[in-house]
Each structure stands twice: as structure tokens, then as C-alpha cells.
Amino acid sequence: MRLKGIAALVVFCFPALAQHGSTNVVNPYTSREHAEAGAKLFRSQCAGCHGPDGTGTGAGPTLTSGTFKHGGSDEALFGTISKGVPGTSMPPFSLSGLQTWELITHVRALGIAHGASQIKGDPQAGAAIFRANCSRCHAAAGEGGLSGPDLTAIGTKRSSAELRESLTNPDAVVASEYWSVAATTSTGRSIRGIRLNEDTFSYQIRDENGHLLSLQKRNLKDVELIRRSPMPSFAGKLSDTQMDDVIAWLISLGRQQ
């Protein structure tokens, strides 16, 4: 009897495993009703850290990019929720199997609502357009220039709408990790580069030649933090379809991360 009980539990938690004899567990509870139940659960159990709409707070990351740091498969998400992430503030949640699947259904819906899954373009064509127009400054998937940010993982952080805005109006939102520093040292040397990190005493920058430099603030005569983007707008330079292709490629890259 006891064994039977355990078997029933396994089937309930991992029905796809039982049905297909595969380890590729798939969420079986994806109806609208399940999504609604998951939404309610999300607000009460998850939104405190991940934000009301799942776009993150200072306490927890966004869940709307369509990619997940600790694995994006249904099975991996199930594990993250039920076991937590040691070393972070993500605790294990002792929800029922059904509740966990409903939560996953809602989390997927959050990504769709933010456009994470709505990729219209052709990633292959996008790769070629990227190489021709962007890679002089931007690296992606291990190739390209260094004067702009590496875009390999941008698809995990930005929605397709945000990527489109960056293409047409680069100054609209320049995230702080892409700000640059223009400094003059006390000996009169001018240095400019992307600010990679900063603390009370120093900046860590990468100059346009790819050199990694640490600037001690006490040794700088003057310093300017540049919050604008040096990137030109691609409105009118790329067609709507070409932009969709590039965005599709960047998002597909993000999903490989």
C-alpha cells in the first residue's frame, strides 16, 4: 500500500514522466484555469521578491525574459521552485505538485505578456544583418567589437520591444551597465571606456582597444560619467523586417545561455 502511495505521488508530480517514460518532464497543467490559479499563487508567494508583474525587484530577478538562470525547462523550473536556490534568497517552496505546475504556467504567461516568446523574425537572417551592421562595435556569441556592450545575453534581460526601442532610439534607455567614463588622470592622460564596475575608490573600465583598466579615483583630476549611447539610430537604416530578424537572433542567443 505504501509503495502504491508513493507511485501515486510520483505520477501526480511528474505525470509526463509516467506517461512517456522520458526524463523530459512537461507541465501538464497549462489551461487558462491553471494559469489563473498560478497567477493568484504568484501574487501571494512570489511577487514579494519578483515584483507584481514578474519583472523583478531589488530582491529577485525578472522572470519575464523567457530565459531562466537555473534552467528554463519545465522540469528545471519545478526544481527551482520546490528546492530553492542555495546561496540566494530564493527559498524552497513546499507547494503541492499541482500548485507548482500552475505557478510555472503563470510564469510562462508572464514571459509571453512581455513579448519574450513573440519572435517574429528569422534568427538566421538576423545573424547576417548583425554581422554587417552591429558587430564592428558589439560582440555576440564570441565575435565582434568591444566598444559597445556584448549582446550575447541581452535576450535574457530585455524584451523584444525594448530591443526594438534600443535600435531606433539608442538614448531612450541606456542601462547603467552601458554607461562610460571619460577621465583625465592627475598626470594629464585622457582615458575613456565602458564602466564595467565601480566602488568607493575605483572604476573598472574597458577601453576601445579592449584593455581592462582600473582607475583609482584619487588619481583622477576630473571624471565624467557619460550616460548617453554612442550608438546611431537604425531607424530608416534597417527595415522593420530586418530589425525583427536581428531581435529574433539576439533572443535566440539568449535562450542558449
Partner 1 sequence: MMWFKTALWLGIALTLRAQVSGERLRDAAREPQNWLTYNGSYASTHHSALSQLRPDNVARLELKWVWQANSLEKIEATPLVVDGVMYLTDPPNDVVAVDARTGRVFWRYRHELPAGVVPCCGRVNRGVAMLGNTLYLGTLDARLVALDVSTGRKRWDVKIAEYEQGYSLTLAPLAIRNKILVGTAGGELGIRGFIAAYDAETGKEAWRFKTIPEPGEPGHETWKGDSWMHGGASVWLTGSYDPELNLTYWGIGNPGPDWNPALRQGDNLYSDSVVALDADTGQLKWHFQFSPHDGFDYDSVQIPVLADLNWKGKPRKAMLWGNRNGFFYVLDRSTGEFLLGQPFVKQTWAAGLDERGRPIRLNDRMPTAEGTLTYPGVQGGTNWYAPSYSPVTGLFYLTAWEDYPGVYYSWEQDYEAGKWFAGGSVRSQMPAITRQEIRTLGSEVGYGTIRALDPATGQRVWEYRMNDVSDSGLLTTATGLLFSGNREGHFFALGARDGKLLWNRYLGGQVASSPVTWSVDGQQYVSIASGHAIFTFGLPER
Residues contributing to the site for partner 1 (CB under 8 A): 43-49, 51-52, 57-59, 86-89, 91-94, 176-177, 179, 195-201, 225
What's CA 63's distance to the chain center, in Å? 8
CB of 198 to partner 1, least distance (A): 6
Specify the residue for cell string 532610439.
Answer: 169
Minimum Å gap between C-beta 202 and partner 1 is 9
CB of 235 to partner 1, least distance (A): 27
Is the CB of 52 or the CB of 230 nearer to partner 1? 52
Residue 116: all three cell numbers together: 519574450
Structural contact between residues 117 and 254, judged by C-beta atoms closer than 8 angstroms:
no
Of 46 and 127, the one with the shorter C-beta distance to partner 1 is: 46
- Residue 138 to residue 67: CA distance in whole angstroms: 21
Torsion over CA: 139, 142, 146, 149 (sign): positive
User: In terms of CB distance, is 184 or 204 closer to partner 1?
Assistant: 204
136 vs 227, beta carbon nearer partner 1: 227
CB of 228 to partner 1, least distance (A): 14
Q: How far is the CB of 53 from partner 1 (least distance, A)?
A: 10
Fill in the DSSP letter of residue 218.
Answer: G
Please report where in the chains the cell 545575453 appears, as a residue.
153
Looking at the Cβ atoms of 98 and 196, the one nearer to partner 1 is 196
* Dihedral sign for Cα atoms in the order 161, 166, 169, 175: positive
- CA 200 to mean position of chain CA atoms: 28
Residue carrying the nine cell digits 564596475: 197
By beta-carbon proximity to partner 1, the closer residue of 143 and 177 is: 177
For residue 205, the cross-strand partners are 195, 213
Smallest separation, CB 203 to partner 1 (Å): 10
Q: Which residues pair with 60 in a beta bridge?
A: 57
- The answer for 119, left when phi > 0, alpha when psi is -120 to 50, beta otherwise, is beta
